Amino acid sequence: MYTIVIKGSVNMSASVYVVGNFKGGVGKTKTVTMLSYIAATRKNRKTLVIDLDPQANATSVLAKTGDISEVKTSVTDGVINGNLEPEIIHVIENLDMLAANVKFRNFGKILMKMFPDDELAQITYLKKLIEPLKEEYDSIYLDVPPTISDFSDNAMMAADHCIVILQTQELSMDGTKTYINYMQYLIDTYNTKLDIIGILPCMLQPKARVDKKVMHDAEELYGNNVLHSIVKYQERLKAYDSEGIAMGHMFNGKPDHWDKVAHDLYENILNELDEHEKVLSGE
């Protein structure tokens, strides 16, 4: 298994996961929202999603999932006030979120104003704010923009584990390599703890030559860290963006087939990630 580890103390409360790639549109937000939903509904884990992307796509999906008609607070307020807890929004049983909004585009300016001459304080501020929440949750997922920025710096420094999303296209592979190299830069520069627990392939055309080549190259380069579970295009997953995540039922009371297919896939992904996390922790 390809592993990046920063030496540091072992977290004994919630596990914090950052989901990333330095290419947009590869499925990061989909992965955050689906894994958090499955962790809450099928694993009975108390789960928090922190949306760190000013576009607020995760916020939109989760608001629809929880039938929340108006989001009145945001992570921006918590960052400015130095306390995230009052801004937490309940979505469904076992699932909460800290919402993002366009004001969060000023995150870098906020950090500069707070810590004008302290770069370490700037990139570890989110970690400091999350720490009190870790006793309240089993899992915390961070959704971030696909850029090298204060958003990604703070997310990586706050996380215990990274889930890398690999769309099987050359630009996404390049984004994956850049993302992992940047993690290594943080590892070499700062003293904290972080590891990759899985690279999740998202294939648009599983039989296409380029998709198969990128998948082969990823397996050659990263070995067992590439998950066996593969996200392929599903119309139902696309529908969740506009309707929210749900498990529908047929007239006879049985689960809707396509909802079940989508949810089973992400439960399998979560099971694989759990196994990788156990291996890395030495269990």
Residue 5 burial by CB count (10 A; 0-12/13-18/19+): exposed, middle or buried? exposed
Residues 6+ apart with CB under 8 A from 106: 76
| pLDDT, tens only, 38-67 | 999 999 999 999 999 999 999 999 999 999
Residues 6+ apart with CB under 8 A from 223: 1, 2
pLDDT bucket at 8, cuts 50 / 70 / 90: very low
Cα distances (Å, whole numbers) of residue 177 to 23, 122, 189: 11, 25, 18
β-sheet with 231-232: strand ranges across: 89-92, 95-98, 47-51, 139-143, 15-20, 161-167, 195-203, 231-232
Residues 6+ apart with CB under 8 A from 69: 63
- How high is the pLDDT of residue 1? 40
Percent of the chain past pLDDT 90, that is, above it, reads 77
| pLDDT, tens only, 103-158 | 999 999 999 999 999 999 999 999 999 999 999 999 999 999 999 999 999 999 99
Q: What's the rounded Cα separation, in Å, for the pair 65 and 67?
A: 6
- How high is the pLDDT of residue 191? 80
Whole-model pTM?
A: 0.92
Q: Compute the mean pLDDT over every residue in the chain, rounded to the nearest whole number.
A: 91
pLDDT bucket at 6, cuts 50 / 70 / 90: very low
Residue 2 has pLDDT above 70, yes or no: no
Report CA 111 to chain centroid distance, whole Å. Answer: 22
- How high is the pLDDT of residue 129? 98
Instruction: Identify the three-state secondary structure at position 165.
Output: strand
Q: Which residue in 24, 16, 15, 36 sits closest to 244, CA to CA?
A: 36
Hey, which residues does 163 pair with through a beta bridge?
19, 198
pLDDT bucket at 29, cuts 50 / 70 / 90: very high
Q: Where are the domains of the chain?
A: 15-281
Residue 9 has pLDDT above 60, yes or no: no
pLDDT bucket at 205, cuts 50 / 70 / 90: confident
Q: What's the rounded Cα separation, in Å, for the pair 79 and 45?
A: 25
**In this structure, CATH architecture of domain 15-281:** 3-Layer(aba) Sandwich (3.40)
